[in-house]
A and B are shown apart, each in its own frame.
Chain A
Amino acid sequence: MKLHEYQAKQVFADAGIPTPGSALATTADEVVEVAEDLGYPVAVKAQVHVGGRGKAGGIKLVEDADEAREAAEDILGMDLKGYTVNKVLVEEAVDFTNELYVGVTMDRGEGKPVVMVSERGGVNIEEVAEEDPDAIAREHVDPAFGLHPYQARKAVYDAGIPREVAGDVASILTTLYDLYEDRDGSDVEVNPLMVTADDEVIAADAVMNIDEDALFRQPELAEMEEEAAEDDLEAKANEYGFDYVRLDGNTGIIGNGAGLVMTTLDLVDYYGGKPANFLDIGGGAKAERVTNALDMVFSDENVDSVVFNIFGGITRGDEVAKGINAALEQFDEIPKPVVVRLAGTNAAEGREILNDELVTVEETLEGAVQRAVDFAAEEGDQ
């Protein structure tokens, strides 16, 4: 789960990390009002979950009320990489002499958290990471002990952070690690961490992503999760509790187990089709869940055919078949052709239950995918 910048900054500020003065606004009038209070120049920053907001026109620096209004009108309501901007953060512009980077994340390969510091912060940090990895100092953390103070200092010295601010940067890094640990972060970072002419450091941006699996013990953060202006279908999937990702093709895909569903997507592509989505109904799904899954996929207007691929371990073929029948019997006419492939536990019983007038049954994975791709091509032509 991702926090918005304004939410993350609040968490950081509460933990004692210096952040610029700011307030949230949802209308142009509010933007101007906040900007007048803060004093110009201010930055107007779109609050959406996409990277590279600045480069995409979602952040504007303004010098007076007219510019503030203009920026607000441009940004509020704009579409930023598929997300509609409904909120902006209006923030004091920091007059900086240097931009640093500090962050904490999990190093999967090592199975340990890692803290990172760089003297070359700013919008190009990912390029720096790729082209000059040594420009980012790293320290792995033993999760049993946490970040030792010497490690925070070492990372700061190794990164070549100027002596005047080294102590403050080490202290901010320590606070970030504590937040990462206490709040079950998955990525916690400040980029840029700005250095001012009088050697103050201030968090000009804030990223805080939380481990979804740990939200049960982070109730305050869980409450901050917003119905993002995400795709309506993804919102519907959340309601049903499905792992769902919308893609841009026209062959709808439903399956059980992430690896098998991904494989089904790959096969659709391999046989010349385009996957419309990833939808994992999970293990042990009962009839109702299957019905919901079909409802989900039929709600995507791009879908021209559906392939249902179930390999039952704890999921039972007869339950799946009942769900498919129940979903399709509601329609006078089946919206789009559905191909079903059942294997594993109770697959034969399931195939027996399926109504041949409503669905096309295939024995093999490859056969089912090819059939669905063919259907999608025919429907797409109509």
Chain B
Amino acid sequence: MSILVDDDTRVVVQGITGGEGKFHAEQMMDYGTNVVAGAVPGKGGQEVAGVPVYDTVDGAVEAEDADASVIFVPPAFAGDAVFEALDTDLDLVVAITEGIPTQDMAKVNKRLSETDTRLIGPNCPGIITPGEAKLGILPGNIFESGDVGLVSRSGTLTYQVVSNLTERGIGQTTAIGIGGDPIIGTSFVDALEAFEADGDTKAVVMCGEIGGEDEEQAAKFIAEYMDTPVAGFIAGRTAPPGKRMGHAGAIVSGSGTGTADSKISALNDAGVPVGDTPNEVAEYVEDFL
């Protein structure tokens, strides 16, 4: 079992004619993802990676009965690409693009609140249900099917924790990279809610990082609404205030909000053990199961 994606999910790749889009469309298909179409303005009628390309997302959805899209569109055009996806009846939109202007995302966020579509990202590695489907750029070979849900703000940190889990023989129901930007479609709370509702997810790992208050919100949600045990990791304990650590969202502001300490203590207060190392997180999960 899984959340949000499985081997029935029919996927449109927005930006499939670009280098990244084509490469990852093929990688997704190799993994078993049901990629049914591409959408690129001006490229309708072509065929890429063995699937038909349409000029519009709507055209692709209508013709191929798609229910999810993955966006590999350059940052200047990606906000528009998300709007286009949200204006169809897709259930899920995954935006991989890094570097979308924040104000474009604020407008997307507003539109998102008026639709039933779920947006994951932007600036994220995507989502994978091991053995069934992946939407994004996650390396499929490190994942194993199993009982643990994983949600993370960072791509490679996700891979690290997954490999620590997989080494212990602990597989995953679904893993979601929610992205490192200040404004994102799916928050920790949204992902945790979905894992809590999934009968097959026996434990959850959440990997947060400095900046914002999403982890603190998640801690409140866990304390109030979750029976499924959660283990945590927070990156950025040694980050100095006022310096952006790579991700646009990973910054401790001058007034001290968004610190690792604040997130770790909020999670601990909610009964969530937080590992000092990624391997320690995997140990906690092993104890839960």
Q: Which of B10-18, B45-53, B59-67, B271-279 is near enough to bind chain A?
A: B271-279
CB A305 to nearest CB in B, in angstroms, measures 17
Say yes or no: A261 contacts B246, CB within 8 Å: yes
| Beta-carbon nearest neighbor of A256 in chain B | B156
Asked whether B155 lies within 8 Å of A257 as measured between CB atoms, the reply is yes
Contact A258 B154 (CB under 8 A): yes
Q: How long is the Cα–Cα vector from A1 to B180 in the complex, in angstroms?
A: 18
Give chain B residues whose Cβ lies under 8 Å from the Cβ of A126: 254-255
Number of A-B residue pairs having CB atoms within 8 Å of each other in the complex:
172
B239 close to A (CB within 8 Å)? yes
User: Restricting to B73-107, which residues have a CB under 8 Å from any CB of A?
Assistant: 75-76, 99-107
Which residue of the partner chain B has the closest CB to A144?
B110
**Is A269 an interface residue when CB atoms closer than 8 A count as contact?**
yes
Question: Which one of B1-9, B29-37, B157-165, B218-226 contacts A?
Answer: B157-165
Q: Which residues of A contact B211 (CB under 8 A)?
A: 108
A345, B139: Cβ atoms under 8 Å? yes
Tell whether B142 is near chain A: CB-to-CB under 8 Å: yes
Contact with A along B241-279 (1 / 0, CB 8 A): 001111111100011000010000000000000001111
* Complex contacts, A366 vs chain B, CB 8 Å: 277, 279
Of B168-176, B191-199, B230-238, the segment with at least 4 beta carbons within 8 Å of chain A is B230-238
Q: In whole angstroms, what is the CA distance A126 to B238 when docked?
A: 23
- Selecting from A33-41, A163-171, A310-318, the interface stretch reads A310-318
A214 and B103 in contact (CB under 8 A), knowing A144-B110, A259-B152?
A: yes
Closest-CB distance, B176 to chain A (whole angstroms): 14
Q: How far is the CA of A343 from the CA of B163 in the complex (A)?
A: 9
Interface positions, chain A 113-131, Cβ under 8 Å from B, are 113, 126, 129-130
Pairwise interchain contact B239-A262, C-beta atoms closer than 8 A: yes
Interchain CA distance A234-B210 in the complex, whole Å? 21
CB distance from A129 to the nearest CB of B (A): 7
B70 at the interface (CB under 8 A from A): no
Given contacts A258-B154, A345-B139, A366-B279, contact A106 B183 (CB under 8 A): yes
Q: Are A214 and B249 in contact (CB under 8 A)?
A: no
A180: nearest residue on chain B (CB-CB)?
A: B103
Note all chain B residues with C-beta closer than 8 A to A144.
107, 110-111
Please give the number of chain B residues whose Cβ is less than 8 angstroms from any Cβ of chain A in the complex: 62
A184 at the interface (CB under 8 A from B): yes
Known: A258-B250, A259-B155, A259-B209. A213 touches B109 (CB 8 A): no
**B243 and A262 within 8 A (CB):** no
B106 to chain A: closest residue by CB:
A143
Q: Which residues, 147 to 187 on A, are CB-close (under 8 Å) to B?
A: 181, 184, 186
Q: Does A265 have its Cβ within 8 Å of any Cβ on chain B?
A: yes
Report yes or no: B106 in contact with A245, Cβ–Cβ below 8 A.
no
Which 9 pairs between the two chains have the least Cβ-Cβ distance?
A259-B154, A258-B246, A257-B156, A259-B157, A214-B101, A260-B156, A111-B109, A262-B235, A143-B106
Given contacts A106-B102, A213-B99, A283-B137, 7 further A-B contacts (CB under 8 A): A108-B211, A109-B214, A111-B105, A216-B76, A257-B154, A259-B207, A263-B278
Listed by A's residue number, 30 A-B pairs whose Cβ atoms lie within 8 Å are A106-B103, A109-B212, A112-B110, A142-B110, A143-B106, A144-B107, A214-B101, A245-B243, A256-B156, A257-B156, A259-B152, A259-B155, A259-B158, A259-B209, A263-B235, A265-B236, A275-B238, A278-B246, A280-B246, A283-B155, A311-B156, A311-B159, A312-B139, A313-B125, A313-B137, A313-B138, A344-B163, A365-B278, A365-B279, A366-B277
